Amino acid sequence: MDFINNILQFTWLNNLVRLLVENVFGISMETRLGGSVHFFIYDTIKIVILLGIMIFIISYIRSYFSPEKTKKILERFGGISGNIMASLLGIVTPFCSCSSVPLFIGFVEAGIPIGVTFSFLITSPIVNEAAFAILLASFGWKIAVVYVITGVVVGVVGGILIGSLHLEDQVEEYVYQIKMGDSEIEELDRKQRIDFAIQNVKDIIKRVWIYLIIGIGIGAVIHGWAPAEILSKYAGPDNPLAVIVAVVVAIPLYSNALGTIPIAEALIMKGVGIGTALAFMMATTALSLPEMILLRKVIKPKLIAVFVAITGVSIILVGYMFNAIAHLLI
């Protein structure tokens, strides 16, 4: 068990980087500079390793699912079980944010209630493989798993609320007139699945590495120099406003979210609330400006506003909850 823990918790890497910093660079780990350099090198390597492995595994699993299959499954579920199913499928169904419009059209055309459709649309971006991998690297598996569960809960609750408001008239009329064609679902062979997974690893790393490096860099500086007392006073778990500010600030920052996790990691060590940090990350992925602009093609502003309000409030509540239970998780 010790051996496995050593690998999973990256104790080996921690020690290796410590040797590098102390013996090769000749900087003592007791100094601020030593701590920062260690944080930067250690975090970069750990995150890249976990990011690559997790994106590969999750993409491979996802290659067995498709929006078409998801649609067929959801047609059979009504009521709250429909919302739960939609949220769960939101985790495994692969789709990029530019597909949210055809996906929405497909769901509506199949007669899937909008509340259920939104459960899918909310959970899918929140629970993404890259966020999961970086959380795993920075905070360990407990937080990563709780994050996934919370993503599902936010999707289910958000979808149920949106459904209960009966906003069907807020979908653009033309969507109801569309007659969806029937396309065959292609079955991939193993090589195509592996290609798909590798392609995803490359795509995501290419998209986020610069934010990651910047984030880890800022994290490293915070690690060495940030004044813990001031931070925990203003952004600590006891300041209720911190979560709300985090969510509002997050909306325009889409896709840079991943770089913020190493910053959050360093901040949390200095006393910032973990719920505050997680709410920030959820908001950057679930409430992105580009996605809202795309969704405007199929739904009217009022429904977009309701979607943002409900999802935003749910995420804020999740932030408070995490702040309250953080001591059980770390």
Partner 1 sequence: MHIKILGGGCKNCEVLYENTKQALEELGIEATMEKVTDFVEIAKYGVMKTPALVVDEKVKISGRVVKADEIKKVLK
Residue ranges in contact with partner 1 by CB under 8 A: 66-68, 71, 94-99, 101-103, 105-106, 109, 174, 178-184, 186, 192, 195-196, 199, 203, 294, 297-298
- Rounded CA separation 205/47 (Å): 11
**Closer residue to partner 1 (CB): 103 or 318:** 103
Instruction: Tell me the closest approach of the beta carbon of residue 163 to partner 1, in angstroms.
Output: 21
Closer by beta carbon to partner 1, 106 or else 312: 106
CB of residue 203 to partner 1, shortest distance in Å: 8
Q: Which is nearer to partner 1, 43 or 129 (CB)?
A: 129
Whether 97 contacts 291, CB under 8 Å: yes
Cα separation, 36 vs 325, in Å, equals: 29
Q: In the complex with partner 1, which residue's Cβ is closer, 97 or 239?
A: 97
Residues 131 and 153: their CA atoms lie apart, in Å, by: 17
Closer to partner 1 by CB, 26 or 111: give it: 111
Question: In angstroms, rounded to a whole number, what is the distance separating the alpha carbons of residues 159 and 307?
Answer: 9
Dihedrals phi, psi of 77, to nearest 5 degrees: -110, 135
CA distance 109 to 180: 7
Q: Is 77 exposed, middle or buried (0-12, 13-18, 19+ CB in 10 A)?
A: middle
- Whole-number minimum distance, CB 170 to partner 1, in Å? 17
Q: What is the largest CA-CA distance in the chain?
A: 70
- In sequence order, which ranges of the chain are alpha helices (DSSP H)? 2-8, 11-19, 32-62, 67-74, 79-92, 100-109, 114-126, 129-139, 141-164, 173-177, 190-225, 228-235, 241-250, 257-269, 274-286, 289-295, 301-329
Print the SS3 string covering 192-256. Answer: HHHHHHHHHHHHHHHHHHHHHHHHHHHHHHHHHHCCHHHHHHHHCCCCCHHHHHHHHHHHHHCCC
Least CB distance to partner 1 at residue 51 (A): 19
Smallest gap from Cβ 196 to partner 1, in A, equals: 6
Q: Which is nearer to partner 1, 89 or 318 (CB)?
A: 89
Query: CB of residue 215 vs partner 1: minimum separation in angstroms?
Result: 22
Q: How far is the CB of 118 from partner 1 (least distance, A)?
A: 16
Say if CB 103 and CB 64 are below 8 A apart: no
Scan for tokens 């690690």, then name that residue: 223
Contact 218, 263 (CB under 8 A): yes
Q: Which residue has the tokens 């660079």?
A: 25
Q: How far is the CB of 211 from partner 1 (least distance, A)?
A: 17
**Choice between 26 and 181, CB closer to partner 1:** 181
Distance CA 259, CA 208 (A): 7
* Token pair 């958000």: residue: 158
Closest CB 193 distance from partner 1, rounded Å:
10
